Structures are given as structure tokens and as C-alpha cells.
Amino acid sequence: MTVAAGIGYALLALGPSLSLFVSVISRKPFLILTLLSSTLVWLVSLIVLSGLWRPFLPLKANVVWPYALLVLSSVCFQEALRFLFWKLYMRLEDVLDSFADRISRPRLFLTDKLQIALAGGLGHGVAHAVFFCLSLLTPAFGPATFYVDRCSKVPFFLISAIIALAFVTIHTFSMVIAFEGYAKGNRVDQVIVPVIHLSAGMLTLVNFASEGCMIGVPLLYLVASLTLLHCGKMVWQRLIESRNQSGSTLR
């Protein structure tokens, strides 16, 4: 039974990403490679951040501002890293295009670019879920569960899986938004991504208050669904645009 619970928590956090992986990513080897490298980038960023913050740990359990500072610095660092990731991707895209010319195949389609962005975002999201939720899940397979004081209604593993799911969604689709924003030079999309990330991070600070998770988690899900909505709208518009432009069928 506890094994079932553990698997359930894991699937709660990673189930949607798993189905995305199976249905979209795993079909194309290149997307798998993109996903792996973006996961690695996120892991490296986490290691660097933890290295920076290591001297100050453990933080005091009852003061909130060091945590706020920590989240702020982490988000800034990761957003900077996202920009670097984008630069890297631009070079990759050039290489891919020239390669496609050389073997006389069509260049990257719009959907290809979107899929690469999706794979990159999914890598970030999966890394988040893996390191913040899945890696702490080992005790959940044992014969007990665990509650934290500040959120005494819900088991710790369940609440962390739920939060991780929200962050997976945010990371995955904000990467698509960011890539499109950079590619089109759209100022709004460029700015909205760090704002989403920062507000999501700050919303987890609500959990710091006693029973704050009852309010913080729904707000987090509001942000996640807004991200999803924005991303869907933007992708839809882009697809319509490019169909009108080229007149040819898109895959």
C-alpha cells in the first residue's frame, strides 16, 4: 500500500510530463537530447546556487526574509541562465539550418522550433520536480508518512507533489513563451516570463505562514493556469499566422 502511495505521489508530480514525454518528445531523438541537456543546465544552476548559499545554511526557521532573498536570487540566476540557454539555442538553430541545407532537406519548421522550446522547458520542469519532490520521496515508500507543522492537514509528500506539478507546468510553458518572445522580439513575452517565475516563487513564501498552504497552493495554481493559457493563445496565434503566410500545410 505504501508503495502504491509513493508511486502515486511520483505520478502526481510527473504524470503530465510523462505523457508529454511519451507522446511528443520520445518520438524524436533530438528532442530527447534537448530535454536531457536542459535538465543538466537546471541541475548545474541548482548546484551553483546551493554552493552560493551553503555558508548561510541552515536558515533560521522563523524568519521569512532570508527565504525571500534566496528565492529572489535563485529566480534571477535562473532567468539569466534561460537567456544563455536561448543564445545557445540560436547557435544550434543556425547549425541545424545550415545542416538541413547541406543535405537538402527543409529547414526547421515552426512546429519544430516550438517542440524544441517545449523540450527545453520540460527539461527544466522535470529537473525541478525530480530534485524538489521525487528525491525526497524515498521515505514515502516506507511504512509511514510525514507532516510539516505549517501545513498540518496534508501529508508533506502530497503537498510537495502538488506544488511540483504546478512548477512543472510553469517551467515547461514559460520556456515556450520565452523562446517565442526572444525570437519575435516581443517585449511583453520577454518580461512576463521572469515575472511569472518570480511570482510563483514568491507565492510559495505564503506557505511559511501557519496553514498558509491552503491559500498559497491555489494561488500557485492560478499562476500556472494563466501561464498555460497565455502559452496556448500565443502558440495558436503563431500557428495561424504562419499558415496564412506560407499557405503550405504545417505538420
Partner 1 sequence: MESSSILDSLGVEIIGVMAPVSICMFLVVLLTYSLSVTSDPQIRTAANLIYVENPSDSATVKLEGSLENAIVFVVVVAAVTFVIVLLFYYNFTNFLKHYMRFSAFFVLGTMGGAIFLSIIQHFSIPVDSITCFVLLFNFTVLGTLSVFSEGMPIVVRQCYMVVMGIVVAAWFTKLPEWTTWFILVALALYDLVAVLAPGGPLKLLVELASTRDEELPAMVYEARPTVSRGRNGGGGSSLRVLVGGGGGGGGGVSDSGSVELQAVGNHNANLDYNAVAVMDRDSVDGVVRSPLAGNPRETHSASPAFSEHSRELGSIVNRESVAEEEMSPLVELMGWGDNREEPRGLVEESDDIDRGIKLGLGDFIFYSVLVGRAAMYDLMTVYACYLAIISGLGCTLILLSVYNKALPALPISIMLGVVFYFLTRLLMEPFVVGMTTNLMMF
Closest CA to 126 of 228, 13, 218: 13
Q: Smaller CB distance to partner 1: residue 225 or 233?
A: 225
Closest CA to 193 of 230, 165, 238: 230
Closest approach, Cβ 70 to partner 1, in A, equals 7
Q: Smaller CB distance to partner 1: residue 96 or 228?
A: 96
Q: Smaller CB distance to partner 1: residue 42 or 86?
A: 42
Angle between helices 213-246 and 187-203 (to 10 degrees): 160
Counting Cα atoms < 13 Å in the Cβ hemisphere of 184 gives 19
Distance CA(172)–CA(176), nearest Å, equals 7
Counting Cα atoms < 13 Å in the Cβ hemisphere of 235 gives 21
The residues in 153-212 that bind partner 1, with binding defined as CB under 8 A, are: 156, 159-160, 163-164, 167, 197, 200-201, 204-205, 207-208
Q: What angle do CA 73, 157, 117 make, to 5 degrees?
A: 50
Closest CA to 192 of 182, 206, 207, 202: 182
Furthest-apart CA pair in the chain: how many Å?
63
Closest approach, Cβ 156 to partner 1, in A, equals 8
Q: Smaller CB distance to partner 1: residue 156 or 186?
A: 156
Q: Is 140 in the site for partner 1 (CB under 8 A)?
A: no
The residues in 18-77 that bind partner 1, with binding defined as CB under 8 A, are: 27-33, 36-37, 39-40, 43, 46-47, 49-51, 53-54, 57-59, 61, 67, 70-71, 74-75
Q: Smaller CB distance to partner 1: residue 137 or 235?
A: 137
Q: Contacts with partner 1: how many residues (CB under 8 A)?
A: 75
Closest approach, Cβ 157 to partner 1, in A, equals 10
Q: Smaller CB distance to partner 1: residue 101 or 241?
A: 101
- CA distances from residue 1 to 31, 46, 143 in whole angstroms, order as listed: 36, 33, 9
The residues in 116-135 that bind partner 1, with binding defined as CB under 8 A, are: 116, 128, 130-135
R_g of the chain, CA atoms, integer Å: 20
The piece of 15-23, 111-119, 224-232, 235-243 that touches partner 1 (CB under 8 A) is: 111-119
Distance CA(18)–CA(10), nearest Å, equals 11
The piece of 106-114, 177-185, 221-229, 233-241 that touches partner 1 (CB under 8 A) is: 106-114
Q: Is 95 in the site for partner 1 (CB under 8 A)?
A: yes
The residues in 201-230 that bind partner 1, with binding defined as CB under 8 A, are: 201, 204-205, 207-208, 213, 216
